[in-house]
Amino acid sequence: MSILRRKREPETVETMALPQCSPIGETQPRQRVCVSGKVIRMTARPTSGQPALAISISDETGTATAVWTGRREIGGVTLGRKIAIEGVPVLHGDHLEFTNPGYTLLPR
């Protein structure tokens, strides 16, 4: 039952580590990237008759937006929460926007 011995081997390949993120300010659009920050804004952004959830996250280097289509809320995603976002962002005017990215809730 090697899973029970897992605690002595924290660095196995498949063990879930926290994602490696880069600063928002250094992120280029159209490349797969991970950024992390604190949720500073959450809005319901209904479009074309369907609900959508938009959040803005901020680290010391900048702010980025993530939009999830078809949802009004995501468990654990609240104002002030630290979260990592992973996906391919678009440049929307002057800021980056991720559509339906992967996310990881980070410890407080």
Q: Which helix (H) or strand (E) holds 92?
A: strand 90-92
Select from 10-18, 19-27, 36-44, 55-63 the region that touches other proteins (CB under 8 A). Answer: 10-18
Positive or negative torsion for Cα 70, 75, 77, 83: negative
Instruction: Restricting to residues 13-72, name those near other proteins by CB under 8 A.
Output: 14-17, 29-31, 47-51, 68-71
> What is the closest distance, in whole angstroms, from the C-beta atom of residue 15 to other proteins in the complex?
5
Residue of 63, 82, 80, 56 whose CA lies nearest to 25: 63
Q: Tell how strand 95-99 and strand 62-69 pair up.
A: parallel
User: Is 105 a residue that touches other proteins (CB under 8 A)?
Assistant: yes
Binding residues for other proteins (CB under 8 A): 1, 3-4, 6-7, 10, 12, 14-17, 29-31, 47-51, 68-71, 73-77, 87-90, 99-107
